[in-house]
Amino acid sequence: MTRALDITIRPSRQRVLERVAELTRSDHELRDRLQAVKSFSSGVRSAEVFITNVCNLRCKGCWFFEHDLDKAAKEVRDLPTLRAFAQQLHAAGTTNVLLIGGEPALVPDRIGVFVETMPYVSVVSNGTRPVPYDGFENLQVFVSLWGGGPIDDELRGHRPGGRRITGLFDLGLRAYRDDPRVVWVYTVSEPGLPHIEPTVRAIHDNGNQVVFGFYSDYGADDPTGVQESDRLLGEMTRAWESYPETVIGHPYYFDALVRGRTHWGTFGYDTCPSISVDHAAHTDRLANGNPVLRGFNTYRADHTVQFCCTSGNCSGCRDSQAMWSWMLVNMHQFLTSRESLRAWVEMAESFYRQYYWSPYRPSGHRVRSGAAADAE
C-alpha cells in the first residue's frame, strides 16, 4: 500500500537562481560566501560504509546492535576486495565516505584502504582506541559522547560480555588531546543539562571541537521526547556563544534538532534526505518531491545497500548528520528573505566546519603532541 505523502513542489533551478540574485544583489559579501560554499559542496558526494560489525562496547540504546544490524551482513575482511569496492565507489562519483561500524578503530588497515582511494574520509569512533595519526593526518575523526558527566559511562560503559568500564570520556580526551582531526559528537538530553557546559569546556581545553546531537532519556517511550525544550536549547546556544571556536552549530539547527521541525515541515521518512537512493524500498519516497542527497547510499559490511544512514526506525530518529543534511538540501526554503538566506549560508559553513578536510575548518589549532599520539 502506498503511503500518503506530503508533496513539496520545488521551484525551478532558474527561479532559484533569479531569487538568489535578487537577494544578494546589494550584498556582495553574502553572494561571495554563498558561491564559495556551493562551489565546495558541489565536489562532495557522500556514501556511508560499515567496515566492521565488531565493537568493544555494548552501549545502551546503540541502534546498530539493538536492531541486530551486526547480524544482517557478513563483513568483508579481505583488503583487496575492500579496495576494489572503494575504487568502484570513487569511479561512480563518490568523493567522501563516512566509515562506521562496529568500531572502525579496531580495523585501521581497512580505514587505510579508503584513505588511499578517496579524497575525503571520516571515521566514527567510540574513543576507546585512538585512530592512528601517522598515515591518517587528513582523516576526520568523530568521537561519540552521550549525555555528559556520569551519564556517558552509564550508557556506554558496557563491554560485550557485560563487564562495566568507566572513565570513557577521560580516556577519549587523553587519546585525542590537541588532535586537530577530532570532533566530538555530543548527544545531549534533558538529564544531562547540568553537564553541557563543563563537558564543552573540557573539549575546548583538550584542543578539540564538538557538534551536538540529541535524544531523550534512555528508556523513554518517545526517543525524541523532551519536556523542557527551551531550557535545553538555551544551554546548547549558551555553549555555542561561549565557545565559538569549539562548538560547531547554529541556533536554527539546534532548534530543528530538538523540536524535529523547521519553518517548512517536520523531519521524518518523507522528508529525510539521507536514505539510500539505490534501495528498492524508496520508490515512493524518491517520487514525493522532497530532496535527497545526490547519489547517497549506506553500505553494510558486505557492501549490500542498507535502507538508510541509521536503523530505519524513522519515528525515533534524530540523527545529527541527517538533520544537517535536511537543512542544506532545502536551500530553496530559505529564499524568503536575505536574512533567511544568510542563515542557510551560515549553517552550510558550519556543517563543513565539522570536517578536517574542509576549507571551513578554522585554522589556529594547537600542534598535536607526540604523547597524545601514542595515548591508549
Does residue 187 sit in helix, strand or coil?
A: strand
Supply the pLDDT for residue 368: 40
Does residue 333 sit in helix, strand or coil?
A: helix
**Tens of pLDDT, residues 97-106:** 999 999 999 9
Cα(272)–Cα(275) distance, rounded to whole angstroms?
A: 7
Nearest to 271 by CA among 220, 311, 210, 325: 325
Supply the pLDDT for residue 329: 97
More confident position, 52 or 318: 52
Nearest to 181 by CA among 131, 145, 117: 131
Supply the pLDDT for residue 218: 62
Average pLDDT of 199-227?
A: 84
pLDDT beyond 60 at 373: no
Supply the pLDDT for residue 68: 87
Is the distance from CB of 213 to CB of 189 less than 8 angstroms? no
- Supply the DSSP symbol for 261: B
Q: What share of the chain is helix, strand, coil (3-state, %, to 5)?
A: 40, 15, 45
Q: Which amino acid is at 337?
A: S
Q: Assign 6 a pLDDT band (cuts: 50, 70, 90).
A: very low
Is the distance from CB of 266 to CB of 260 less than 8 angstroms? yes
Q: Assign 369 a pLDDT band (cuts: 50, 70, 90).
A: very low
pLDDT beyond 60 at 371: no
Residue that the C-alpha cell 538530553 belongs to:
189
Supply the pLDDT for residue 220: 64
Residue that the C-alpha cell 587519546 belongs to:
175
Average pLDDT of 57-81?
A: 91
Q: Which residues contact 150 (CB under 8 A, 6 or more apart)?
A: none
φ and ψ of 214, to 5 deg: -150, 135
Is the distance from CB of 159 to CB of 165 less than 8 angstroms? yes
Q: Assign 226 a pLDDT band (cuts: 50, 70, 90).
A: confident
Q: Assign 217 a pLDDT band (cuts: 50, 70, 90).
A: low
Supply the pLDDT for residue 260: 93
**88-121 as b/e: b if 16+ CB within 10 A:** ebbeeebebbbbbbbbbbbbbebbbbbbebbebb
Supply the pLDDT for residue 370: 39
**Tens of pLDDT, residues 267-323:** 999 999 999 999 999 999 999 999 999 999 999 999 999 999 988 888 888 899 999
More confident position, 371 or 204: 204
Average pLDDT of 228-256?
A: 96
**Tens of pLDDT, residues 127-166:** 999 999 999 999 999 999 999 999 999 999 999 999 999 9
Domains, the chain, with CATH or none: 13-361 (3.20.20)
Average pLDDT of 355-367?
A: 73
